[in-house]
Amino acid sequence: MSQYVSRLSGSLPAPRLRFGVGHRRPRRVAMLSVHTSPLHQPGTGDAGGMNVYIVELAKRLAAVGVEVEIFTRATAGGRPPAVELAPGVLVRHVDAGPYEGLAKEELPAQLCAFTHGVMQAWAGHRPGYYDLVHSHYWLSGHVGWLAAERWGVPLVHAMHTMAKVKNASLAEGDTPEPAARVIGETQIVRAADRLIANTAEEADELVRHYDADPAKVAVVHPGVNLERFCPADGRAAARARLGLPQDAFIPLFAGRIQPLKAPDVLLHAAALLLERDPSLRSRLLVPVVGGPSGSGLAKPEGLQKLAARLGIADLVHFQPPVGQDRLADWFRAASVLVMPSYSESFGLVAIEAQACGTPVVAAEVGGLPVAVRDGLTGVLVPGHDPADYADALSGLLAAPGRSAAMGEAAARHARSFGWDTAASTTADVYTAAMYDHAQRHGQRGGHHHHRRHRLRHV
């Protein structure tokens, strides 16, 4: 474990970097999000935390003077080729494959067409139009690798999730990630000038599983929109707006419905709570907010059938994915958010819920031990045994005072995850990538030629 990565553990931002005169942030970044559009509704299809991440990061980068153009695959006809998402943030729709009915697993075959579309957009600009490429997820990484090479600019890549990590902790019956993805990720790790990890653990995994150069790995915690996700007018008002009973115990699941996210663990835990205390039936409500995704698409009704089998179909309320403001109300209304995931690179939903003043019961995996402070803002559960989740929920149910104190601590904890910090730290990573790239290619870099200055960590 390098000093660089380990120094960034916990919830500390990456170190500020100081550069000599002549070193600057990029003016314009090409951001690549092949498989999911930042304009899509999170919680449906392949849209989730990564969509929120890209939208918020791009907006905050634009606010500090870094223009962002996001390239994504067109998934509907008649969409304008470019849409302004916010001042300084442009979304470009690239035609690559059919608009609908294309699973994420089929997208590698469309990368050539997507790359062609990105190159066409670039060809219409003056030389040096984009200063840097930032790709998200391995599919985008391959396009980013090619674009960065062609344009003579640095590549910054964020994995978000990794095949080797996912395959090491698969849910029962879930489909392993293919070897082609592992190979692809390995190539991107080698090609990138900088790799952005959500947590120190993810940085460690990049080094351990993919032999990443530790000096190229930077930890940037994703942020949360603290204006939108906040306690606001409290639980009672949120429950009134959503038409939920005021006295109910409400453990909430919010996210894509697929084996990886393990919503079935919450249903089994709820059934166990009722087994232990049948009187709970009159005041237990389990909302499941989200749509089927990934391998969950094969059995979209699976969760409803499980609720019926467990005899709790009347208590489980399935809600389609909702907009961010409505989602914030669901978080406020919940007694607790439950995240029994098998793998999470960060778990943005956990921070969003805590920012609304709601404690979290989560699996002790991936970035969740950074997102949730065990015993203070929620409870971390080792493994995926529903009995352990039932125990954690019983503890909160039996001690309303403890639960309320956790909610208050959760809101305080989440305040350290603002997007402004994430954006300024990302901009520092860009500057470092440009500096290194200029050092390596300075003699033949044309508009990339910079005077050499020593980089100092502060």
Per-residue pLDDT of 430-449, as tens digits, reads 999 999 999 988 734 444 43
49 is in an annotated binding site: yes
- pLDDT level of residue 296 (50, 70, 90 thresholds): low
The angle subtended at Cα 316 by Cα 302 and Cα 276, nearest 5°, is: 105
331 is in an annotated binding site: yes
275 is in an annotated binding site: no
Q: What is the pLDDT of residue 346?
A: 82
SS3 at position 50: helix
Least confident piece of the model among 2-11, 112-121, 146-155: 2-11
DSSP, res 88: T
* Residue 89: half-sphere exposure toward Cβ, Cα within 13 Å: 17
201 is in an annotated binding site: no
Q: How far apart are alpha carbons 136 and 435 in whole angstroms?
A: 21
Least confident piece of the model among 29-33, 78-82, 149-153, 277-281: 78-82
41 is in an annotated binding site: yes
132-136 vs 89-94, strand pairing mode: unpaired
352 is in an annotated binding site: yes
187 is in an annotated binding site: no
Element (H, E) at 350: helix 348-355
Average pLDDT value for residue range 187-196: 97
438 is in an annotated binding site: no
Instruction: Express as a percent the part of the chain with pLDDT over 90.
Output: 62
Q: What is the pLDDT of residues 118-147, one digit of tens each?
A: 999 999 899 899 999 999 998 899 999 999
- Give the residue with greater pLDDT, 47 vs 117: 117
Residue 428: partners with Cβ closer than 8 Å, 6 or more residues away: 14, 16, 17
pTM, 2 dp: 0.75
- Give the residue with greater pLDDT, 445 vs 260: 260
- pLDDT level of residue 298 (50, 70, 90 thresholds): low
Q: What is the pLDDT of residue 12?
A: 37
298 is in an annotated binding site: no
305 is in an annotated binding site: no
Average pLDDT value for residue range 37-58: 71
99 is in an annotated binding site: no
**What is the average pLDDT score of the chain?**
86
Sheet holding 89-94, edge to edge: 82-86, 89-94, 67-73, 28-33, 132-136, 155-158, 194-197, 217-219
137 is in an annotated binding site: yes
Q: What is the pLDDT of residues 53-95, one digit of tens each?
A: 899 999 999 999 999 999 998 887 777 889 999 999 999 999 8
Residues 360 and 350: beta-carbon distance below 8 Å: yes
Least confident piece of the model among 6-15, 39-48, 279-288: 6-15
166 is in an annotated binding site: no
Q: What is the pLDDT of residue 185?
A: 94
Q: How far apart are alpha carbons 455 and 257 in whole angstroms?
A: 45
Residues 4 and 217: beta-carbon distance below 8 Å: yes
Residue 21: is its pLDDT beyond 60? no
Helix axes 263-276, 386-398, angle to 10 degrees: 60
332 is in an annotated binding site: yes
Closest-CA residue to 3 (of 206, 208, 202, 204) = 204
241 is in an annotated binding site: no
Residue 14: is its pLDDT beyond 60? no
Q: What is the pLDDT of residues 341-394, one digit of tens each?
A: 998 878 889 999 999 999 999 999 988 999 999 999 999 999 999 999 999 999
Q: How far apart are alpha carbons 437 and 167 in whole angstroms?
A: 33
Closest-CA residue to 117 (of 69, 182, 173) = 69
Q: What is the pLDDT of residue 3?
A: 36
Nearest-Å Rg of the Cα atoms of the chain is 22
Token pair, residue 297, equals: 């698409």
435 is in an annotated binding site: no
Q: What is the pLDDT of residue 102?
A: 67
Q: What is the pLDDT of residue 40?
A: 65
Residue 16: is its pLDDT beyond 50? no
Residue 287: is its pLDDT beyond 90? yes
**Residue 348 backbone zone (phi > 0: left; psi -120 to 50: alpha; other: beta):** alpha
51 is in an annotated binding site: yes
Least confident piece of the model among 95-109, 239-253, 437-451: 437-451
Residue 291: is its pLDDT beyond 70? yes
Average pLDDT value for residue range 214-225: 93
69 is in an annotated binding site: no
- pLDDT level of residue 170 (50, 70, 90 thresholds): confident
130 is in an annotated binding site: no
180 is in an annotated binding site: no
Q: What is the pLDDT of residue 142?
A: 93
